[in-house]
Amino acid sequence: MNQPQFNQFSSPAKLNLFLHIVGRRSDGYHELETLFQFIDHSDILEIRKIDSPKIKLLTPIEGVALQDNLIYKAAKILQDKTHTPLGAEIKINKVLPMGGGLGGGSSNAATVLLALNVLWDCQLSLNDLADLGVQLGADVPIFIHGFSAFAQGVGEKLTPQSPKEYWYLISKPTCSISTAEVFNHKDLTRNTPRLITSEIELKNCHNDCQTLVIKHYPKVANLLSWLLEYAPSRMTGTGACIFSQFNSKAEALLIQSKLPTEVESFVAKGVNQSPLLAELEALREKTKLFK
């Protein structure tokens, strides 16, 4: 009997258009206010179900143990939740930079949860999957729901938003930043006043992590300073990636061409709906044909 073919899924990046830290909970997690937007730049995951309960990651990530890999952990948490006898083989084409603040690992976990929910016919709701996902990382629910949103709490309380879909130049200096290190730092601002309206003026917002990071990572500070000469620019998440905002692809490509060669960069469009949603709908329609 022929094995099922691999199905291909996007695992897109996100930007934090701003990130305010408004408090710290007793469990150590931070209370956030942030505006998430997706960009059309993705890792690609290839997944197929298998009839044994094994979870096989065919492209391990160097330096990351299997049990610590969010792709593997996402598959296992769904398997344990649903008691399915099925397993999966998974491959990843890693495009998004690690340690950049683009949410690549969280996006990978969400894509696995969403894809296997269909492939294994688990029939969990998006809210059920988001509840599983938040156990893996605070950013996972936004990738589960797949729409741009104002997020509160630890990132799980989502209100849909439709920020303008600009073109962005995403730049990463030659350093990676630990999210845990930033959030645990004694000098991190944790008392930014909460927003009192859902009418968000981005020009009046900021990234609390950026203030800390540019003090301790001169490569981020220098690159940000350079980019601000050309366009509104801000760090996403805990960094190290910086996004610069343009009205056209041509403008973004022009400034990209001026970057120092050691700076990793790409140009992408902001999008308010994850490309994964359409892929999952197509998969559902395909699986109906074979039932």
pTM: 0.94
User: What 3 state SS string does the chain have?
Assistant: CCCCCCEEEEEEEEEEEEEEEEEECCCCCEEEEEEEEEEEEEEEEEEEEECCCCEEECCCCCCCCHHHCHHHHHHHHHHHHHCCCCEEEEEEECCCCCCCCCCHHHHHHHHHHHHHHHHCCCCCCHHHHHHHHCCCCCCHHHHHHCECEEEEECCCEEEECCCCCCEEEEEECCCCCCHHHHHHCCCCCCCCCCCCCCCCCHHHCCEHHHHHHHHHCHHHHHHHHHHCCCCCEEECCCCCCEEEEECCHHHHHHHHCCCCCCCEEEEEEEECECCHHHHHHHHHHHHHHCC
- CATH number for the domain spanning 214: value is 3.30.230.10
Name the domain count of the chain: 1
* Active-site choice (73, 139, 172, 208): 139
Q: What is the pLDDT of residues 273-282, one digit of tens each?
A: 999 999 999 9
**81 annotated active-site:** no
Is residue 82 pLDDT above 90, yes or no?
A: yes
**121 annotated active-site:** no
Q: What is the pLDDT of residues 38-63, one digit of tens each?
A: 999 999 999 999 999 999 999 988 88
Q: What is the mean pLDDT of residues 135-144?
A: 94
- pLDDT more than 90, % of the chain: 85
Average model confidence (pLDDT) across the chain: 94
Domain that holds residue 52: 1-291
Q: What is the pLDDT of residues 8-27, one digit of tens each?
A: 999 999 999 999 999 999 88
